[in-house]
Amino acid sequence: DQQVKQNSPSLSVQEGRISILNCDYTNSMFDYFLWYKKYPAEGPTFLISISSIKDKNEDGRFTVFLNKSAKHLSLHIVPSQPGDSAVYFCAASAKTSYDKVIFGPGTSLSVIP
């Protein structure tokens, strides 16, 4: 049972445009969400997080939006740069088990120069 879903395995975007990566979750107990970026032959690196008490968190070119009623979050990258080409993982954890971070399958983003 996949509790964190990323239904788009891949996404291509032109340099300078907006990249929108989507994530859906099924467990209503999840209240903390994170995005990680992964380059080939490296481990994932933390990008940005959001708590369920917020609906938006921004860090430079990266913004995460949370829609609790829809159990949906999205990561916006504006403007997209070729160096953003990577696999992006959505992850979530619950108040009852914060140390059990559940990851989605990832979306591969290609930013075309």
Partner 1 sequence: DSGVTQTPKHLITATGQRVTLRCSPRSGDLSVYWYQQSLDQGLQFLIHYYNGEERAKGNILERFSAQQFPDLHSELNLSSLELGDSALYFCASSVGPNNSPLHFGNGTRLTVT
Interacting residues toward partner 1 by CB under 8 A = 4, 6, 32, 34, 36, 41-46, 49, 89, 93, 97-106
Minimum distance from residue 75 beta carbon to partner 1 (Å)? 15
Q: Of the two residues 13 and 104, which places its CB atom closer to partner 1 in the complex?
A: 104
Residue 26 beta carbon to partner 1: minimum distance, rounded to whole angstroms: 14
Tell me the C-alpha distance between 19 and 37, whole Å: 14
Spatial CA neighbour of 106 closest among 22, 12, 48: 22
Nearer to partner 1, 39 or 112 (CB): 39
8: Cβ contacts below 8 Å, ≥ 6 apart: 21, 22, 107
Nearer Cβ to partner 1, position 15 or 57? Answer: 57
> Closer to partner 1 at the Cβ: 77 or 90?
90
As measured in angstroms, the least distance from the Cβ of 16 to partner 1 is 28
Give 75's strand partners. 21, 64
d(CA 51, CA 45): 18
